[in-house]
Chain A
Amino acid sequence: MNQIIKFTIDDVECVATKGQYIIDAARENGIFIASLCNYPGVKPKGSCRVCSVKVNGRLMTACTTPVSQGMAIENHTDELNELRKKIIELFFVEGNHFCPSCEKGGTCELQALAYRFKIMSPRYPYFFPQREVDATNPKLIKDQNRCILCKRCIRAIHDEKGRTIFAYKRRSNRVEISIDPKLGRELTDEVALKAMDVCPVGALLIREKGFDTPIGERKYDKNPIGSDIEHLQIPYSKTKSNE
């Protein structure tokens, strides 16, 4: 039988099954931990560090750390929220995130997190790197300008034989996502759509589609990211960051 364990997040008592990752356990207890590279059902990577929490006083990524009995987790503190804000701002200056012209606007998780943390502008200078758009695939367009290198597409998208379709190429600050030319050509509509949905930003887009939901009705236009998790808990408007 699965062992039930108890732990706390910001002094709120929570229960989880042994072996669950902090972020998943928190979600089941109605607590939102901000994250970018994590995707439910996909092996965690811990690359973006947005989900950093303090476990018994030490910084850990909530998506790769399993909960244990009696853990005292800090999540919604000024220090951690400031750290998360800085990371999100770094993402914005590192790439070319032109929100006004992006098809993913309103459903983009990077943007939604910035809204949630009320970021008016990044505090760092913009890099404006020169990056390419790859439009060679018949189903997908890959815009490296917007990619945050979370590896979600690499980890989540496979063909029916279990082969990965996306991969990293190059090294260091020139690293980018590449689509396997052969497997990419045979992409089904279903897998292409999944790839677009898995991408937290607008780096993977389905061809001949976009801007199909009017402004004001998109996923994060009215409701902040995480509010679906938190509806069991304190509403967003009453949380500490909003005071």
Chain B
Amino acid sequence: MSKPIVATTSLAGCFGCHMSFLDIDERILELMQLVEFDKSPINDIKKISRKCDIGLIEGGCCNSENVHVLKEFRENCKILISVGECAIMGGLPAMRNGIPLSECLEEAYQNGLTVKESNDARIFPNDPELPIILDKVYPCHEIVKIDYLLPGCPPRADLIWEALIAIITGNQIKMPYEVLKYD
């Protein structure tokens, strides 16, 4: 039987969850025996190239590119997991959700204290290559179906490890009290 394939990505996140993932330390060697990696910042594969078994999503959706990648993951992954507070509830980027988007953009590109030097012409970034910013930051499960959620900022390495092992081996997750934290 071939190994299960894992893909990971960071949307509107800080890569902290991926750093925490690497905190499984030497167990990564064990993981390499158990799974194969497709798209992931860990191996620098940029595009999903085949159907995957497990997709790990870090970060919520703050722009059109995030939504595109998330939908691509949903289409290609049998099991999709939201990893971290940002994927689950938008996280710190979602702090803008109570503020109208126009106010956010005006503060960043027109009225902010540091705008004068960095953006003398007071233009909003409008290159067609840039993804379009969404009206607010959305949790991943409000865009596509998410199968499992691992909270934490970042989720403890042990939680990510135990979740992966549980899925790969088809067992119940072992979750001691210390590993479930929101910060």
Name A residues whose Cβ lies closer than 8 Å to a Cβ of B: 96, 98-102, 105-106, 111, 114-115, 118, 120-122, 125-126, 128-131, 215, 221-224, 236-237
Asked whether A115 and B181 contact (CB < 8 A) given A99-B85, A128-B94, the answer is yes
Complex: chain A residue closest to B151, CB-CB: A120
- CB < 8 Å neighbour of B180 from A115, A131, A236: A115
Most chain B CB neighbours (cut-off 10 Å) among A99, A102, A222: A99
Which residues in A have their C-beta under 8 angstroms from that of B153?
99-100
Asked whether A131 and B98 contact (CB < 8 A) given A118-B180, A125-B142, A236-B177, the answer is yes
* CB atoms of A126 and B139 under 8 A apart: yes
CA gap between A115 and B89 in the complex, in Å? 16
* CB atoms of B178 and A100 under 8 A apart: no
Which residues in A have their C-beta under 8 angstroms from that of B92?
98, 100-101
Interface size in chain B (residues, C-beta < 8 A): 28
Which residues in B have their C-beta under 8 angstroms from that of A120?
88, 148-151, 180
CA gap between A98 and B93 in the complex, in Å? 10
* CB atoms of A98 and B151 under 8 A apart: no
* CB atoms of B177 and A99 under 8 A apart: no
Which residues in A have their C-beta under 8 angstroms from that of B175?
118
Which residues in A have their C-beta under 8 angstroms from that of B95?
96, 98, 101
Secondary structure type dominating chain B contacts: mixed
CA gap between A222 and B176 in the complex, in Å? 10
Asked whether A99 and B139 contact (CB < 8 A) given A121-B89, A131-B98, the answer is no
- CB < 8 Å neighbour of B98 from A100, A121, A125, A128: A128
Complex: chain A residue closest to B100, CB-CB: A130
Asked whether A130 and B89 contact (CB < 8 A) given A118-B175, A121-B149, A222-B177, the answer is no
CB of A202, distance to nearest CB on chain B (Å)? 11
Nearest 3 pairs between A and B by C-beta? Answer: A100-B153, A130-B98, A99-B182
* CB atoms of B183 and A102 under 8 A apart: yes
* CB atoms of A130 and B99 under 8 A apart: yes
CB of B147, distance to nearest CB on chain A (Å)? 11
CB of A10, distance to nearest CB on chain B (Å)? 21
* CB atoms of A222 and B178 under 8 A apart: yes
CA gap between A102 and B99 in the complex, in Å? 19
Given contacts A100-B91, A101-B95, 13 further A-B pairs with CB under 8 A are: A96-B98, A98-B85, A100-B85, A100-B92, A101-B92, A105-B183, A106-B183, A114-B182, A115-B180, A122-B89, A126-B139, A130-B99, A131-B98
Which residues in B have their C-beta under 8 angstroms from that of A99?
85, 153, 182-183
CA gap between A120 and B141 in the complex, in Å? 13
CA gap between A129 and B88 in the complex, in Å? 17
Instruction: Kindly supply a per-residue 1/0 record for chain B positions 110-128, scoring 1 wherever the CB is within 8 Å of any chain A CB and 0 otherwise.
Output: 0000000000000000000
